[in-house]
Amino acid sequence: MNFSAIRRVVGWILLFEAIFFLVPLITAVIYWEEEFFVFLFCIALCGSLGALFLSKKLTNNAIYAKEGIVITALCWIVLSLFGALPLYLSGTGVYGSYVDALFEIVSGFTTTGATIVPTGAQIAALPKSILMWRSFSHWIGGMGVLVFMIAFLPLSGARNMHIMKAESPGPTVGKLVPKVRTTAKILYVIYTGMTAIQIIMLLCGGMSFFESVNTAFATAGTGGFSVKADGLAGYSSYLQIVVTVFMLLFSINFNSYYMLGKRRWKEVLTAEVKVFLLVVFATIAAVTLNVYLTGTIPSFGRALKHSAFSVSSVISTTGFATENFALWPMFSQILLLLIMFIGACAGSTGGGIKVSRVVVLGKSASNEIGKMLHPKRVKHVTMDGHVIDSDVVRSIFAYFVVYIAVFILSLLIISFDLNNLNYAGVENTKFLTGFSSVAATLNNIGPGLGAVGPAGSFADYSWWSKLVFIFDMLAGRLEVFPMLLLFAPSTWRKG
C-alpha cells in the first residue's frame, strides 16, 4: 500500500474543499450572514491541513488498483467529515448533533437528497449560505470530486484511471480520449455546460437567480435538495417541466453527449439508453393512468405532469417532489419503489443499480434458461453488438450479491428503530418506511415512502440508524466495494 500517495491525494482533496467553501462564503457575504465566519474558519482549517499533508515529501507516486480504491473511499469520507462542519457550527438549531450534520452533507455529496430537517418550513428558514452549500455539495458530488481533481492535476499520469474507475458509476469505465485527464475535462465541460443551460432556462421562467442556481446544482447532481418549504410544488408548470427534462438528461450516460457532438449517431442511442427511456415512458404511462383512474389526481393533464415529474425524479435518483407520492395508490408506490432500484444509466450523475447492470443480469438469466433447454448451445452476453467480457459479467453478479447483502443487513439494523418514527398520515407503513429508507439511501434517491416520503424526513431515526444510512449513501455512490474494502485487513498490508 502506497501511503505516501494516499496522503498526498487526501491533502489535495482538503485544498479543493477549501476552494469549494468559497461559494457559500461569497453567498454569506452577499446576504450579510454571520455564517461567513464559519466558512472562513473551515477554509482556514482545510487549507492548513491540506498544505500540511502536501508538505511531506512524496516517496512513491505509483497508484495501482488497491490504492485507487482506498483513495476514493478515504477522500469521500474526509470530504464529508469536514463538509459537515459548517452545518454543525452554523448555530441554526436544525442540526442538533454532528451526526445530523454529517448525515445531511453526506446526503449532499452522494447526491442522495435525504434530509434530517423535519419540515420544509425549517429548510426554507436556513441561511442562504447553508442552503447554497447543501445544493453545491450535490454539484460537487454529481460528477465526482476526484474526477474534478484529475481534470486539473496530473496526479500520477496514466494511473489516474484506477481512481476514476473507483469513483465513476457503472460496471465499466472507459476513456473518451486516450488521456484520462482530458477525458475528465471533457466530462466537466459537458456537465458545466448543461448546468449553465438549465440555469438560463429557469431564469427565463421567472425563478430568482439564487433559486435557479440552487435548483440547477441539485438537478445536475441528481440530488434533490430544495430551498423552498414546498419543494418544487409552488413553481409554474414551465419550471417543473424544465426540471423534469433535465433530471432525465443528467440520468443519461455522458458519453452519449460526447458522441452526439462527434456525430457518431450509433453510439448515442446505446442499448442502455434505449432501455432507460423505455422504462421511463412505460412507468409514466402506468402511473398516470393509475392516479387518474383512481381519482387521486382527477385532471388527466395534472396526473401526467406530476407522474412524469415523480418518475423522472425517482429513476434519476434526484428526489425532487411536486406531489407527496407516498399518498398515491399502492400500485404507483410499488412502481416507484421498483425503479428506485433500477436507477439511472452508468456514466451519469444518477444512482441506483444502473440500467446497464439490469440489462446484463437479464440477458445472463435468459442465457442460463436457454442452456437448460439446449445444454450444448454457447451464447454470449452482448450489448450494442459487442460481447460482454466474462469478467465484467462476473463482477456484475458479485456486485448484485454484495448489494443485496448490504441492503438486508442495513434493514435488519434499522428495524429496531421503526417504532420510534412519526407515521402521521401514513399509518401502518412501518415495513414500507424501513424498506424504502434503505432503498432511498443505498440507491441515493432521497425521499422514500411512508414516514420518509416527500413530506417527511429522517429526523426521527436514532443516531446509530443515521450512521447506517451514512454508510449506505457512501456505499451506494461508490458502488459498494470501495467502502467495504476499507474493512478488509488485507487492504492495508504493504506490498
Dump pLDDT digits (tens) for 105-132: 999 999 999 999 988 888 888 999 999 9
- Residue 62: helix, strand or coil by DSSP? coil
| pLDDT tier, 28 (very low <50, low <70, confident <90, very high otherwise) | very high
- Whether 117 contacts 123, CB under 8 Å: yes
* 308 has a pLDDT exceeding 50: yes
Taking CA atoms, 341 is separated from 57, 336, 344, 376, in Å, by 45, 9, 9, 34
- Residue 123: helix, strand or coil by DSSP? helix
The separation between the first and the last C-alpha atoms of the chain, rounded to the nearest angstrom, is: 6
* 310 has a pLDDT exceeding 80: yes
Helix, strand, coil tally for the chain in percent (to 5): 65, 0, 35
d(CA 97, CA 84): 10
The pLDDT value recorded for residue 488 is: 82
Across residues 374-397, what is the average pLDDT? Answer: 79
* 296 has a pLDDT exceeding 70: yes
pLDDT over 70 for what percent of the chain?
90
CA geometry: angle 329, 416, 224, nearest 5 deg: 50
Residue type, 104: E
d(CA 321, CA 232): 6
d(CA 189, CA 212): 19
Cell output for 83: 463538509
